[in-house]
Amino acid sequence: MFTVAQRARIRDALVQVASDDERITAAALVGSAAIDQEDQWSDIDLALRIRPDLEPELAAQHWTTYMYADHDAVHHLDIWSGPALYRVFLLSNSLQIDLSFWPSQAFAASGPTFRLLFGETNDAPTSPPPSTESLIGMGWLYALHIRSSLARGRRWQAVHMLNGLRDQVVALACLRFGLPAHQGRGVDDLPPEMTDFLANTLIISLEPTELNRAFASTTRLLLKEAAHVDTELASRLAPPIEELVRSCEISPYVRSRAPLKH
Protein backbone atom coordinates (compact mmCIF):
# COMPACT_ATOMS: atom_id res chain seq x y z
CA MET A 1 0.00 0.00 0.00
CA PHE A 2 1.34 3.42 -0.92
CA THR A 3 1.74 6.14 1.71
CA VAL A 4 0.61 9.75 1.48
CA ALA A 5 4.26 10.83 1.38
CA GLN A 6 5.00 8.43 -1.50
CA ARG A 7 2.03 9.73 -3.43
CA ALA A 8 3.17 13.32 -2.95
CA ARG A 9 6.69 12.49 -4.17
CA ILE A 10 5.37 10.70 -7.24
CA ARG A 11 2.99 13.55 -8.07
CA ASP A 12 5.80 16.12 -7.74
CA ALA A 13 7.97 13.99 -10.05
CA LEU A 14 5.19 13.73 -12.63
CA VAL A 15 4.62 17.48 -12.61
CA GLN A 16 8.34 18.10 -13.05
CA VAL A 17 8.53 15.68 -15.97
CA ALA A 18 5.48 17.35 -17.55
CA SER A 19 7.06 20.80 -17.25
CA ASP A 20 10.24 19.48 -18.95
CA ASP A 21 8.38 17.61 -21.71
CA GLU A 22 8.31 19.59 -24.94
CA ARG A 23 5.15 17.67 -25.93
CA ILE A 24 3.22 19.16 -22.97
CA THR A 25 2.20 22.84 -22.93
CA ALA A 26 0.07 22.91 -19.77
CA ALA A 27 -0.88 20.71 -16.83
CA ALA A 28 -3.51 20.73 -14.13
CA LEU A 29 -4.36 18.81 -11.00
CA VAL A 30 -7.80 17.26 -11.23
CA GLY A 31 -9.97 15.75 -8.51
CA SER A 32 -9.70 15.95 -4.74
CA ALA A 33 -6.09 17.18 -4.76
CA ALA A 34 -7.17 20.28 -6.69
CA ILE A 35 -9.33 21.38 -3.76
CA ASP A 36 -7.12 20.03 -0.95
CA GLN A 37 -9.53 17.27 -0.01
CA GLU A 38 -7.35 14.20 -0.51
CA ASP A 39 -7.39 11.33 1.94
CA GLN A 40 -5.08 8.36 2.25
CA TRP A 41 -6.94 6.47 -0.50
CA SER A 42 -6.91 9.21 -3.14
CA ASP A 43 -5.24 8.64 -6.48
CA ILE A 44 -3.29 11.04 -8.70
CA ASP A 45 -5.12 12.83 -11.51
CA LEU A 46 -3.17 14.99 -13.94
CA ALA A 47 -4.61 16.62 -17.05
CA LEU A 48 -1.99 17.36 -19.70
CA ARG A 49 -2.38 19.74 -22.64
CA ILE A 50 -0.45 18.48 -25.66
CA ARG A 51 1.08 20.41 -28.54
CA PRO A 52 -1.34 21.30 -31.35
CA ASP A 53 0.52 19.08 -33.81
CA LEU A 54 0.24 15.93 -31.65
CA GLU A 55 -2.42 13.29 -31.16
CA PRO A 56 -3.13 11.96 -27.64
CA GLU A 57 -1.85 8.45 -28.42
CA LEU A 58 1.53 9.72 -29.58
CA ALA A 59 1.98 11.91 -26.51
CA ALA A 60 0.96 9.03 -24.25
CA GLN A 61 3.55 6.63 -25.66
CA HIS A 62 6.50 8.45 -24.06
CA TRP A 63 4.69 8.68 -20.74
CA THR A 64 3.79 5.01 -20.78
CA THR A 65 7.44 4.01 -21.13
CA TYR A 66 8.31 6.42 -18.32
CA MET A 67 5.60 5.08 -15.97
CA TYR A 68 6.75 1.48 -16.34
CA ALA A 69 10.45 2.28 -16.12
CA ASP A 70 10.45 4.85 -13.31
CA HIS A 71 7.29 4.23 -11.27
CA ASP A 72 6.86 0.45 -11.39
CA ALA A 73 3.56 0.44 -13.25
CA VAL A 74 2.15 -3.08 -13.63
CA HIS A 75 -0.72 -2.37 -16.04
CA HIS A 76 -2.62 0.45 -17.71
CA LEU A 77 -6.08 1.05 -19.15
CA ASP A 78 -7.16 3.49 -21.86
CA ILE A 79 -10.47 5.35 -21.54
CA TRP A 80 -11.59 7.95 -24.06
CA SER A 81 -13.69 10.90 -22.95
CA GLY A 82 -14.55 12.94 -26.00
CA PRO A 83 -11.25 14.01 -27.59
CA ALA A 84 -9.16 13.21 -24.49
CA LEU A 85 -7.31 9.99 -23.79
CA TYR A 86 -7.23 8.93 -20.14
CA ARG A 87 -4.40 6.48 -19.59
CA VAL A 88 -4.94 4.97 -16.15
CA PHE A 89 -1.97 3.25 -14.52
CA LEU A 90 -1.85 0.78 -11.65
CA LEU A 91 1.44 0.84 -9.73
CA SER A 92 2.83 -2.11 -7.80
CA ASN A 93 2.07 -0.28 -4.53
CA SER A 94 -1.65 -0.09 -5.56
CA LEU A 95 -1.56 3.64 -6.37
CA GLN A 96 -3.76 4.64 -9.31
CA ILE A 97 -2.48 7.38 -11.60
CA ASP A 98 -4.77 8.95 -14.19
CA LEU A 99 -2.96 10.86 -16.91
CA SER A 100 -5.30 12.53 -19.38
CA PHE A 101 -3.91 13.79 -22.67
CA TRP A 102 -5.93 16.66 -24.11
CA PRO A 103 -5.73 18.11 -27.62
CA SER A 104 -4.66 21.72 -27.32
CA GLN A 105 -8.02 23.20 -28.33
CA ALA A 106 -9.96 21.01 -25.87
CA PHE A 107 -7.93 21.64 -22.70
CA ALA A 108 -10.10 23.61 -20.26
CA ALA A 109 -11.23 23.61 -16.65
CA SER A 110 -13.91 20.96 -16.26
CA GLY A 111 -15.20 22.27 -12.93
CA PRO A 112 -14.07 23.36 -9.47
CA THR A 113 -11.84 20.31 -9.07
CA PHE A 114 -9.32 21.65 -11.60
CA ARG A 115 -6.17 23.53 -10.59
CA LEU A 116 -3.86 24.80 -13.31
CA LEU A 117 -0.21 24.10 -12.48
CA PHE A 118 1.45 25.70 -15.48
CA GLY A 119 0.56 26.87 -18.98
CA GLU A 120 -2.80 28.19 -20.09
CA THR A 121 -6.33 26.82 -20.51
CA ASN A 122 -9.11 27.51 -22.97
CA ASP A 123 -12.43 28.92 -21.86
CA ALA A 124 -14.37 26.19 -20.10
CA PRO A 125 -17.29 24.80 -22.13
CA THR A 126 -20.68 24.52 -20.52
CA SER A 127 -21.47 20.92 -19.63
CA PRO A 128 -25.18 20.25 -19.10
CA PRO A 129 -26.17 17.84 -16.33
CA PRO A 130 -27.71 14.49 -17.23
CA SER A 131 -31.23 14.74 -18.58
CA THR A 132 -33.76 13.81 -15.91
CA GLU A 133 -36.09 12.57 -18.63
CA SER A 134 -33.45 10.17 -19.97
CA LEU A 135 -32.71 8.93 -16.43
CA ILE A 136 -36.39 8.21 -15.90
CA GLY A 137 -36.54 6.48 -19.28
CA MET A 138 -33.55 4.32 -18.46
CA GLY A 139 -35.24 3.53 -15.15
CA TRP A 140 -38.36 2.04 -16.70
CA LEU A 141 -36.22 0.27 -19.29
CA TYR A 142 -34.23 -1.43 -16.51
CA ALA A 143 -37.52 -2.29 -14.78
CA LEU A 144 -38.73 -4.11 -17.90
CA HIS A 145 -35.55 -6.18 -17.99
CA ILE A 146 -35.79 -6.95 -14.28
CA ARG A 147 -39.30 -8.31 -14.79
CA SER A 148 -38.22 -10.55 -17.67
CA SER A 149 -35.09 -11.71 -15.82
CA LEU A 150 -37.12 -12.71 -12.78
CA ALA A 151 -39.81 -14.38 -14.89
CA ARG A 152 -37.13 -16.48 -16.59
CA GLY A 153 -35.44 -17.42 -13.33
CA ARG A 154 -32.28 -15.51 -14.25
CA ARG A 155 -31.46 -14.21 -10.79
CA TRP A 156 -27.96 -12.89 -11.41
CA GLN A 157 -29.15 -10.96 -14.44
CA ALA A 158 -31.96 -9.55 -12.32
CA VAL A 159 -29.40 -8.35 -9.76
CA HIS A 160 -27.41 -6.64 -12.51
CA MET A 161 -30.52 -4.88 -13.80
CA LEU A 162 -31.64 -3.92 -10.29
CA ASN A 163 -28.30 -2.25 -9.71
CA GLY A 164 -28.76 -0.33 -12.96
CA LEU A 165 -32.24 0.80 -11.91
CA ARG A 166 -30.90 1.98 -8.56
CA ASP A 167 -28.18 3.96 -10.34
CA GLN A 168 -30.86 5.93 -12.21
CA VAL A 169 -32.68 6.67 -8.96
CA VAL A 170 -29.45 7.79 -7.30
CA ALA A 171 -28.66 10.13 -10.19
CA LEU A 172 -32.16 11.64 -10.08
CA ALA A 173 -31.91 12.19 -6.32
CA CYS A 174 -28.47 13.77 -6.62
CA LEU A 175 -29.70 16.19 -9.28
CA ARG A 176 -32.71 17.09 -7.15
CA PHE A 177 -30.48 18.01 -4.22
CA GLY A 178 -27.88 19.80 -6.34
CA LEU A 179 -25.21 17.11 -5.90
CA PRO A 180 -22.87 15.50 -8.45
CA ALA A 181 -24.77 12.77 -10.25
CA HIS A 182 -21.98 11.16 -12.26
CA GLN A 183 -20.86 7.77 -10.90
CA GLY A 184 -22.80 8.32 -7.68
CA ARG A 185 -20.32 10.95 -6.51
CA GLY A 186 -22.95 12.82 -4.52
CA VAL A 187 -24.89 9.91 -3.06
CA ASP A 188 -23.18 9.94 0.36
CA ASP A 189 -24.18 13.58 0.78
CA LEU A 190 -27.89 12.96 0.24
CA PRO A 191 -30.16 13.58 3.25
CA PRO A 192 -30.38 10.61 5.65
CA GLU A 193 -34.04 9.99 4.84
CA MET A 194 -33.10 9.53 1.19
CA THR A 195 -30.21 7.16 1.88
CA ASP A 196 -32.50 5.22 4.23
CA PHE A 197 -34.89 4.71 1.31
CA LEU A 198 -31.98 3.63 -0.87
CA ALA A 199 -30.85 1.14 1.77
CA ASN A 200 -34.21 -0.59 1.39
CA THR A 201 -33.42 -1.28 -2.25
CA LEU A 202 -30.33 -3.34 -1.45
CA ILE A 203 -30.48 -7.08 -2.02
CA ILE A 204 -29.60 -9.41 0.86
CA SER A 205 -30.08 -12.74 -0.93
CA LEU A 206 -30.84 -14.25 -4.31
CA GLU A 207 -34.14 -15.74 -3.21
CA PRO A 208 -36.93 -14.72 -5.61
CA THR A 209 -39.05 -13.15 -2.87
CA GLU A 210 -36.11 -10.98 -1.80
CA LEU A 211 -35.41 -9.93 -5.37
CA ASN A 212 -39.08 -9.01 -5.77
CA ARG A 213 -39.00 -6.99 -2.55
CA ALA A 214 -35.97 -5.02 -3.75
CA PHE A 215 -37.60 -4.57 -7.15
CA ALA A 216 -40.75 -3.13 -5.56
CA SER A 217 -38.75 -0.79 -3.30
CA THR A 218 -36.62 0.51 -6.15
CA THR A 219 -39.51 1.11 -8.52
CA ARG A 220 -41.35 3.03 -5.79
CA LEU A 221 -38.34 5.30 -5.46
CA LEU A 222 -38.14 5.72 -9.22
CA LEU A 223 -41.75 6.87 -9.32
CA LYS A 224 -41.16 9.26 -6.40
CA GLU A 225 -38.17 10.83 -8.11
CA ALA A 226 -40.08 11.00 -11.39
CA ALA A 227 -42.88 12.87 -9.59
CA HIS A 228 -40.38 15.53 -8.48
CA VAL A 229 -39.49 16.04 -12.15
CA ASP A 230 -42.90 15.72 -13.82
CA THR A 231 -45.97 14.66 -11.86
CA GLU A 232 -47.98 13.96 -15.00
CA LEU A 233 -45.25 11.70 -16.38
CA ALA A 234 -45.00 9.87 -13.05
CA SER A 235 -48.76 9.29 -13.12
CA ARG A 236 -48.55 7.80 -16.61
CA LEU A 237 -45.64 5.56 -15.64
CA ALA A 238 -47.13 4.29 -12.37
CA PRO A 239 -49.69 1.75 -13.75
CA PRO A 240 -47.35 -0.17 -16.09
CA ILE A 241 -44.46 -0.12 -13.60
CA GLU A 242 -46.68 -1.31 -10.76
CA GLU A 243 -47.97 -4.06 -13.06
CA LEU A 244 -44.40 -5.18 -13.69
CA VAL A 245 -43.91 -5.67 -9.96
CA ARG A 246 -47.25 -7.43 -9.51
CA SER A 247 -46.56 -9.82 -12.38
CA CYS A 248 -43.34 -10.91 -10.69
CA GLU A 249 -45.08 -11.47 -7.37
CA ILE A 250 -47.52 -13.94 -8.93
CA SER A 251 -44.99 -15.59 -11.24
CA PRO A 252 -44.91 -19.41 -11.04
CA TYR A 253 -41.14 -19.10 -10.84
CA VAL A 254 -41.36 -17.14 -7.60
CA ARG A 255 -43.75 -19.61 -6.01
CA SER A 256 -42.04 -22.84 -7.05
CA ARG A 257 -38.34 -22.16 -7.52
CA ALA A 258 -36.11 -24.02 -5.08
CA PRO A 259 -33.61 -21.99 -3.02
CA LEU A 260 -30.06 -21.70 -4.26
CA LYS A 261 -27.74 -24.23 -2.67
CA HIS A 262 -24.64 -22.91 -0.94
pLDDT of 239 above 70 = yes
255 pLDDT higher than 50: no
**What pLDDT, on a 0 to 100 scale, did the predictor assign at position 142?**
96
Specify whether the CB–CB gap between 49 and 119 falls below 8 A: yes
Mean pLDDT, rounded, for 88-101: 97
Q: pLDDT tens across 23-50, in order?
A: 999 999 999 999 999 999 999 999 999 9
* Close Cβ partners of 169 (under 8 Å, ≥ 6 residues apart): 139, 198, 201, 218, 221, 222, 225
Q: Which residues contact 10 (CB under 8 A, 6 or more apart)?
A: 44, 71, 91, 95, 97
In DSSP terms, which residues pair with 48 in a beta bridge? 27, 101
Q: What is the pLDDT of residue 251?
A: 62
Under the banding of pLDDT at 50, 70 and 90, the label for residue 130 is: confident
Supply the pLDDT for residue 112: 80
Predicted confidence at residue 126, as pLDDT, reads 63
Would you say residue 262 has pLDDT above 50? no
Give all domains of the chain, ordered by start, each with its CATH number.
4-118 (3.30.460.10), 132-251 (1.20.120.330)
Average pLDDT over residues 77-91: 96
Spatial separation of the C-alpha atoms in residues 236 and 163, rounded to whole Å: 24
Q: Who has greater pLDDT, 189 or 124? A: 189
Average pLDDT over residues 186-212: 96
What is the structure's pLDDT at 124?
77
Over pLDDT 70: what percentage of the chain? Answer: 94
pLDDT at 127: 65
Provide the whole-model pTM: 0.76
pLDDT at 229: 96
Confidence of residue 256 (pLDDT cuts 50, 70, 90): very low
Q: 227 pLDDT exceeds 50? A: yes
Cβ-contact 176, 228 below 8 angstroms: yes
How many angstroms from the chain centroid is the CA of residue 63?
Answer: 26
> In the prediction, which pLDDT does 258 show?
46
Please give the pLDDT value at position 156: 97
Separation of CA 254 from chain center: 33
Task: Determine the average pLDDT of the residues in 123-132.
Answer: 78
Q: 82 with 135: CB under 8 angstroms? A: no
Indicate the pLDDT class of residue 17, thresholds 50, 70 and 90: very high
